[in-house]
Amino acid sequence: MIFPPELLTIMRKCDYIAVLTGAGTSAESGVPTFRDAQTGLWAKYDPQELATPEAFTHNPQLVWDWYAWRRELVAESAPNPGHFALADMASHPARFTLITQNVDGLHQQAGNDGVLELHGSIRRIRCSQDDRIVTEWSGDPRCPDCGGWLRPDVVWFGENLPADALQFASQAARGCDIFLTIGTSGLVQPAASLPLIAAEKGAVTVEINVEDTPLSRFMDFTLHGKSGEVLPELVTAVWGNDSA
Ligand code: BJW
């Protein structure tokens, strides 16, 4: 890909890069996105029936089974070149913050530290009654302490995001020089507001996506392509071959 030369110069000189990722970042790792028509999980399942507290109250076993299937999928997946490029990118500017909506843990697996997980982690299980993190259970997915149903430690619609992660993400959006938005449809709040906050505070905004999103028209640069291809090329173009 030919990148705008001014973008490469800005990235090379900037002190603080913040990045927001979404499900598209993991698509090339074989983790289905949420809203892509062909492969998205939600083409087969109604998200309102599965990723809400109401669904869990109504049919905890169904929700548990769905997440168990997805947890297995994530366990079998591995970071792709886009994840590794972001781990590499982290070492270049003086400051770097990676904010993700993904629950798969692939950024951490690729080597990024201090990832801000806005929507939790599918790898963690907690009790829906006493909120304790649970690592072992036998038979039914029930809390060994109180007998409450176990659930994934993720954020469902209508639930609050982890306050610390959201606060740090908001600070990053306000303080960074460049804000990259990668592989997200930009439909889910409050994550989708972060690029706009960054733009309002004067950051240079860049979107990487296979298609336009509602955020595209607010971006300074829109790079169309797969993140697993665009990101390694971008890191090499900005910082040289040692980075690829
Ligand atoms: C590629 C690619 C490749 C493909 N390379 N790109 C303000 C206004 C209106 C509504 C609200 C509002 N504030 C809050 C709400 C309600 C709600 C909300 O946003 N609703 C909207 C849908 C309208 N938000 C909430 O409820 C949040 N809580 C909250 O705000 O609490 C306070 C509050 C509550 C109620 C009212 C007001 C305040 C919680 C949101 C939790 C989201 N949870 C989920 C599930 C997590 C667990 C799980 O995994 O099951 O998080 S939903 C789902 O969407 C998941 C994702 O993280 C999230 C975002 O999806 P993402 O990552 O963007 O994926 P896709 O599939 O949508 O897009 C993929 C993109 O990749 C596409 O653009 C492709 O083109 C692209 N792509 N391949 C690059 N190779």
| pLDDT digits 0-9 by tens, 82-101 | 999 999 999 999 999 999 99
**How many angstroms does the Cα of residue 152 sit away from the middle of ligand 1?**
17
The answer, yes or no, to whether any atom of ligand 1 lies below 6 A from the CB of 163, is: no
Q: Are 155 and 119 in contact (CB under 8 A)?
A: yes
In the block, tokens 């590794």 appear at 84
Tokens representing 52 are 């809400």
The answer, yes or no, to whether any atom of ligand 1 lies below 6 A from the CB of 210, is: yes
Ligand 1, atom 56, residue with closest C-alpha = 101
Amino acid code (one letter) for 6: E
pLDDT at 49 over 80: no
pLDDT value, residue 48: 57
pLDDT value, residue 224: 98
Strands 221-224 and 16-21: unpaired
**Residue 38: which pLDDT band, with cuts at 50, 70 and 90?**
very low
The answer, yes or no, to whether any atom of ligand 1 lies below 6 A from the CB of 189, is: yes
pLDDT at 46 over 70: no
**Residue 66: which pLDDT band, with cuts at 50, 70 and 90?**
confident
The ligand 1 atom at the shortest distance from the C-alpha of residue 21 is 62
**How many angstroms does the Cα of residue 77 sit away from the middle of ligand 1?**
21
Segment 129-143 shows an average pLDDT of 92
In the chain, the domains with their CATH numbers are: 1-30+80-119+161-244 (3.40.50.1220), 32-76+122-154 (3.30.1600.10)
From 31, 33, 70, give the residue whose CB has the most ligand 1 atoms within 8 Å, as the site to mutate.
Answer: 33
181 against 242, higher pLDDT: 181
**Residue 41: which pLDDT band, with cuts at 50, 70 and 90?**
low
Ligand 1, atom 4, residue with closest C-alpha = 24
Enter the pTM of the model: 0.96
Tokens representing 69 are 């299937």
The answer, yes or no, to whether any atom of ligand 1 lies below 6 A from the CB of 134, is: no
pLDDT value, residue 47: 59
